[in-house]
């Protein structure tokens, strides 16, 4: 898809401004003129009234157990060790079903809404009245690969654009000096499937997620080699700019050539902006303490959560943070030792997530930001390998918070064991439709033409989950 980023008129106007002989600083000064041009990430108006401008997705990779976090089931304690009956055949991924296993954690009610949350998330629980909890989620596949793809792209198959790609495609980015869609992976490694989790699928590369490192240079290849200092770099860029501008004179109407010149200016600015965006040394001691960045076990996730806020503050459209990485032990995938596993991962994330909500509120950003928290599926109420839980796509919980979200809401429920969503069942398509709606995008109208078909994030499915919205859409 060769894209026309500039209209001819804009370009001619730009050239009228004169180019040859200007220094790089002068070129930068002309950015105001260029900002009006249509780069693939230039901001676009939403189709409907938008509630939020940005989103932070907290992805608990491996699958969080709903019955140990947000969906209490006393029945598991009353009937511990008994077979789970009355729910039909139980198919487990690992093929070793046990009896019902009680949660090792206790629950209590939080907030004015009286939401039941387990002791794994005491800090998040403090924001119960900000959270819209969906207890009746279900997904298609109980295998990590397809389920991750579904949660991130809508399809269980590879090759589709991720939610972040759809949102940046639909709305552009408010800060061209940073990528519009940024991904943080867990320090133990990223989720399986790898980069296709944040790929732009069949869309242009402009909409793919950019992995950010939370220390040093956030982006690979962001900085020049040490031998090339800032001044050297300016000289070098100036040479490239001048030669390219001269080349452009031959075909001044060529928007692609002009866009490529512009991309070097953006890259240069990104070097400082990206580094600055993750520089949490600039945060106050109180803020750092809030996120737990100077202590274990919250240090790593806390840093990422804080960086996410800094990025959103700077106009980044979509930030995704993965908690849990690699396979088996280091992720939420608690096939055994559920207690140790969820204790660890919850302790790493609970406080930073609560801090993020509080901090966004303090800065007046909460109402324009959407926070979502989920895994790719839930876990079974029965035991696996004696003290773990196997995958379960039939029922699980997730929550949303932020602008346009009705806090203190609980949507739907699972059966007596927390196995299967039974009441007011919500699909991943519904979840995605709701995210787009909060951004002011209509999931049935936001489409991208590929191979002769208008593709959608929600394919031919999906209904906005009105219950979690503060106001019914017009």
Partner 1 sequence: MTRRLAPWLLFAPVLYGDEDLARRAMDILTRNCLVCHGAARTSGLDLRTREGMIAGGSRGPAVVPVNPQRSLLYRFASHEDKPSMPPAPAAKLSDEDIEILREWILGGAELLGAGVAAPIGEAEKKAALARLEERPITDEERRFWAFQPPRRQPPPPVAGAASIRHPIDRFLRQAIEARKLKPAPPAGRRTLIRRAYLDLLGLPPAAEEVEAFVRDSAPDAWERLVEKLLASPHYGERWARHWLDLVRYADSGGFEFDVDRPDAFRYRDYVVNAFNTDKPYDSFLSEQLAGDEIAPGSNEAMIATGFLRLGPEGGGAGELGRQDALDDLLTTTSLTFLGLTVGCARCHNHKFDPIPQKDYYRMQAAFFSTRPVSHSLADPAAVAANKAENDRIDGFQQPVRKAKTDLEAPYHKRLIEDAVGRLPGYMQSAWRTPAGQRSEGQRLTVRQIERTLAAGELSKKLTEEQVVATMTREDKIRHRELIEQLSTLSRQRPAPLPTARAIGEFGRQARPSYFLHRGSSDARGSLMTPGVLSVISRREHPFPAPPEDARSSWRRRGLADWIASPENPLTSRVMANRIWQHHFGEGIVRTPSNFGKLGEPPSHPELLDWLALEFIDKGWSVKSMHRLMMTSRAYQASSDDIAFNLEIDPENRYLWRMPRQRLEAETIRDQILAVAGTLDRTAGGPCVFPYINPVLFQSSTRRTWPGKSDDDPSTWRRSLYVFSKRSIRYPMFETFDQPNLVNSCDRRNRSTIAPQALLMMNNNFLLVQARHFAARLRKEAGENPAARIERAFRLALGRAPREFERVQAAAYLAGSAEGLDGLALAMFNLNEFVHRQ
- Please report, as residue ranges, which positions from 54 to 73 form the binding site for partner 1 (by CB under 8 A): none
Task: With beta carbons less than 8 A apart as the criterion, state whether 136 and 413 touch.
Answer: yes
Kindly tell me which of 110 and 429 has the beta carbon lying closer to partner 1.
429
* DSSP codes, 360-393: HHHTT-GGGEEEEEE-SSEE-SB-BTTTB--EE-
Do the beta carbons of residue 178 and residue 274 sit within 8 Å? yes
Q: What is the closest distance, in whole angstroms, from the C-beta atom of residue 245 to partner 1 in the complex?
A: 9
Smallest gap from residue 68 Cβ to partner 1 (A): 15
Question: Using omega within 30 degrees of 0 as the cis cutoff, is the peptide bond preceding 334 cis?
Answer: no
Query: Which of 59, 336, 373, 431 lies at the binding interface for partner 1 (CB under 8 A)?
Result: 336
Site residues (CB under 8 A) for partner 1, limited to 135-174? 138-146, 155-159
The answer to whether 248 contacts partner 1 (rule: CB under 8 A) is yes
**Which residue lies nearer to partner 1 by CB, 274 or 405?**
274
- x-marked contacts with partner 1 along 378-417 as a string, rule CB under 8 A: ----xxxxxx-----xx-----------------------
Name residues whose C-beta falls within 8 Å of residue 421's C-beta, 6 or more positions apart in sequence: 135, 136, 137, 138, 394, 395, 396, 412, 413, 414
User: Is residue 89 within the footprint of partner 1 (CB under 8 A)?
Assistant: yes
To the nearest whole angstrom, how small is the minimum distance from the Cβ of residue 413 to partner 1? Answer: 16
Tell me the closest approach of the beta carbon of residue 225 to partner 1, in angstroms.
6
CB nearer partner 1, residue 4 or residue 363: 4
Q: Pick between residue 71 and residue 384 the one whose CB is nearest to partner 1.
A: 384
Residue 44 has phi, psi (to 5 degrees) of -125, 150
Binding mask 92-131 for partner 1 (x = CB under 8 A): ----xxxxx-------------------------------
Residue 140 burial by Cβ neighbours in a 10 Å radius (0-12, 13-18, 19+): middle
> How many residues sit in the footprint of partner 1 (CB under 8 A)?
120
Task: Establish if 444 lies at the interface with partner 1 (CB under 8 A).
Answer: no
**Interface with partner 1 in residues 277-316 (CB under 8 A):** none
CA–CA gap between residue 431 and residue 151 (Å, rounded): 9
Strand-pairing partners, residue 100, are: 382
Interaction of residue 25 with partner 1, rule CB under 8 A: no
Give the x-and-dash track for 190-229 against partner 1 (CB under 8 A): xxxxxxxx-x-xxxxxx-x-xx-x-----xxxxxxx-xxx
- Structure tokens, 410: 């609980």
318: helix, strand or coil: strand
Q: Is 259 in the site for partner 1 (CB under 8 A)?
A: yes
**Minimum CB distance to partner 1 smaller for 264 or for 473:** 264
């Amino acid at each position: 898809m060769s894209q026309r980023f500039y209209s001819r008129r804009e370009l001619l106007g730009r050239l009228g401004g004169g180019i040859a002989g200007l220094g790089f600083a002068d070129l930068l000064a002309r950015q105001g003129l260029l900002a009006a041009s249509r780069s693939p990430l230039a901001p676009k108006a939403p189709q409907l009234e938008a509630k939020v401008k940005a989103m932070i997705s907290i992805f608990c990779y491996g699958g969080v157990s709903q019955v140990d976090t947000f969906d209490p089931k006393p029945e598991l304690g009353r009937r511990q060790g008994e077979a789970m009956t009355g729910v039909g055949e139980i198919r487990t991924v690992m093929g070793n079903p046990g009896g019902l296993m009680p949660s090792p954690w206790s629950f209590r009610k939080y907030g004015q809404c009286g939401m039941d949350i387990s002791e794994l998330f005491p800090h998040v629980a403090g924001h119960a009245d900000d959270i819209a909890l969906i207890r009746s989620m279900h997904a298609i596949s109980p295998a990590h690969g397809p389920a991750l793809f579904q949660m991130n792209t809508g399809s269980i198959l590879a090759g589709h654009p991720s939610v972040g790609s759809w949102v940046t495609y639909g709305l552009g980015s408010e800060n061209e000096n940073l990528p519009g869609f940024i991904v943080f992976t867990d320090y133990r490694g990223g989720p399986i499937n790898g980069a296709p989790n944040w790929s732009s699928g069949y869309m242009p590369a402009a909409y793919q997620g950019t992995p950010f490192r939370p220390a040093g240079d956030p982006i690979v290849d962001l900085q020049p080699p040490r031998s090339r200092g800032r001044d050297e770099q300016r000289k070098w860029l100036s040479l490239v700019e001048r030669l390219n501008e001269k080349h452009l004179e031959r075909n001044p109407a060529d928007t692609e050539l002009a866009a490529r010149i512009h991309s070097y200016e953006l890259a240069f600015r990104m070097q400082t902006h990206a580094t600055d965006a993750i520089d949490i040394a600039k945060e106050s001691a109180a803020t750092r303490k809030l996120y737990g960045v100077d202590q274990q076990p919250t240090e790593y996730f806390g840093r990422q959560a804080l960086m996410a806020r800094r990025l959103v503050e700077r106009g980044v459209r979509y930030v995704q943070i993965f908690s849990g990485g690699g396979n088996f032990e280091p992720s939420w995938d608690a096939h055994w030792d559920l207690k140790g596993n969820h204790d660890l991962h919850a302790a790493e994330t609970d406080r930073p997530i609560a801090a993020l909500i509080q901090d966004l509120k303090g800065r007046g950003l909460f109402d324009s930001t959407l926070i979502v928290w989920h895994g790719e599926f839930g876990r079974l109420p029965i035991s696996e390998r004696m003290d773990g839980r196997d995958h379960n796509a039939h029922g699980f919980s997730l929550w949303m918070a932020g602008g346009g979200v009705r806090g203190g809401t609980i949507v739907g429920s699972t059966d007596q064991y927390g196995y299967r969503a039974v009441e007011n069942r919500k699909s991943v398509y519904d979840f995605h439709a709701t995210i787009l709606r909060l951004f002011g995008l209509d999931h049935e109208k936001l489409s991208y033409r590929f191979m002769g078909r208008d593709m959608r994030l929600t394919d031919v499915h999906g209904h906005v989950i009105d219950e979690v919205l503060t106001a019914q859409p017009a």
